[in-house]
Amino acid sequence: MVAEHMAKAFDEEITQLRGLIAEMGGLAELAISESMEALVKGSQSLADSVIARDLRIDALEQDVDKLAIQIIALRAPMADDLREVIASLKIAGILERIGDYAKNIAKRSGKIDGREAFEPLTLIPAMSEIAEEMVHDVLTAYAARDSALAQEVMERDAKVDGFYDAIFRNLVSFMVERPATITTAAQLLFVARNLERIGDHATNVAEQVYFAATGDYLGDRAERPEN
């Protein structure tokens, strides 16, 4: 836990910063689940609301930027406070990207034909569930400053990658057999690609959470001597 700061205003600002990040995270999570629902059910209105809500994520990212810069400029934070601010700045950028991927999935939902008879469409929600859970858990790790959970989320990325490979092969063979479905299948390829990227970005957030909590970088932790 961060110790109580002598300057109460500083403490308030850090809390506000974390609140903004969490708000972005919540919006990104909802964007993923709703874009997937829109894709599976073919609901244009739901897709539109996902696209519209992305503006709010963008606005929040700007708020985080401003606040983080203001904190660095006025308070000159040190040690874990500085890590917290830097990590928040980076996480905001990543969450904004995640929101964009979800928005992209929502945009593609209107271009899927023959939803009922399209078998690979059942694989994609399963993949999305894993990616969504990664985002959910990494945000919980951020809220709890839980480095162990962050590390666990990173390990889950392999599952999403495995799913992506399976869906890729599945879709390609589907296209070979039924050339009429190429347009739809190509759209779904991009959807799967977006989900795979969301998984990668969840790992990136996990790295930042780990960094903010421990001061170590997860990537080169193995090479470092124990101290």
Partner 1 sequence: MTNKIRRPWAGMTLATVVLASLGAAGMPAPMVVLTGLAWLASLWIPRMGAGESAVRTPTARTDHEALARAAMCAALEQVGLAIVLMRGHRIIAANAAARAEFGAHIVGQDARVALRHPDAVKLLYLADGGSVTIRGLSSSGSLWQLTRQRIDERYWTIELRDRSAEADIGRAHTDFVANASHELRTPLSAIIGYVETLAEDPGRVDADTTARFLGIVLREARRMQSLVADLMSLSQLEAEKHDVPTDHIDLALLAARVVGEFPPGMVSTGQSSGPRVVLLRPDEPNSPIGAIGDTKQLEQMLRNLIDNALKYGDSARPVEVSLARGKRGMAMITVRDHGTGIAPDHLPHLTRRFYRTDPGRSRAAGGTGLGLAIVKHIVERHRGKLDISSTLGEGTQVTIHLPFSSPAAPPASKPASKSVSQPGERVDQTAAPANATLTNEILPGAKAPKAIAGPVS
Q: Which residues bind partner 1 (CB under 8 A)?
A: 1, 15-16, 18-23, 25-27, 29-30, 33, 53, 129, 132-133, 136, 139-140, 142-146
**Minimum gap (Å) between residue 63 Cβ and partner 1:** 12
CA dist 97 and 117 (Å) reads 32
Smaller CB separation from partner 1, 16 or 170: 16
Cα angle 159, 164, 170 (rounded to 5 degrees) comes to 125
Neighbours of 23 (CB within 10 A): 16
Q: Give the span between the Cα atoms of 211 and 203, in whole angstroms.
A: 12
C-beta of 101 vs 142, nearer to partner 1: 142
The nearest distance, CB 18 to partner 1, in angstroms, is 5
Q: How far is the CB of 19 from partner 1 (least distance, A)?
A: 3
Cβ proximity to partner 1, 60 vs 171, nearer residue = 60
Answer left, alpha or beta for residue 76, where phi above 0 means left and psi between -120 and 50 means alpha.
left
For 76, phi then psi, to 5°, come to 45, 65
Q: How far is the CB of 90 from partner 1 (least distance, A)?
A: 17
Element (DSSP H or E) covering residue 7: none
Q: Decide whether 171 or 206 has the Cβ nearer to partner 1.
A: 206
